[in-house]
Amino acid sequence: MVYFTAAITLFHNHPSGDVAPSREDEAVTIQVIKACSVLDVRVHEHIIFSMLDDRYHSMADQGVIERIYREVAQ
């Protein structure tokens, strides 16, 4: 029997403490969303944590995840 997950959440940290997503962060998110779509797996979130304090950036809360899905679907 083979099991697949229905959704995933991505997490990583920025040692600098700056939680703003870089171009590379968004590019990786796009690649993962495209790869997951082949398996019908949804990416719900990509969170970037600061290594210096308790700050974080949620790409879902900022609308980035949905924007990527709209762009990928075109």
DSSP 22: P
Residue in the block written with tokens 């075109």 = 74
Task: Give the separation between CA 17 and CA 54, rounded to whole angstroms.
Answer: 9
HSE-CB at 28 with a 13 A cutoff on CA atoms is 14
pLDDT tens for residues 22-73? 999 999 999 999 999 988 899 999 999 999 999 999 999 999 999 999 998 7
- Domain 7-73: CATH superfamily is Cytidine Deaminase, domain 2 (3.40.140.10)
pTM metric for this prediction: 0.87
pLDDT tens for residues 2-28? 776 799 999 999 999 999 999 999 999
Task: Give the separation between CA 48 and CA 52, rounded to whole angstroms.
Answer: 12
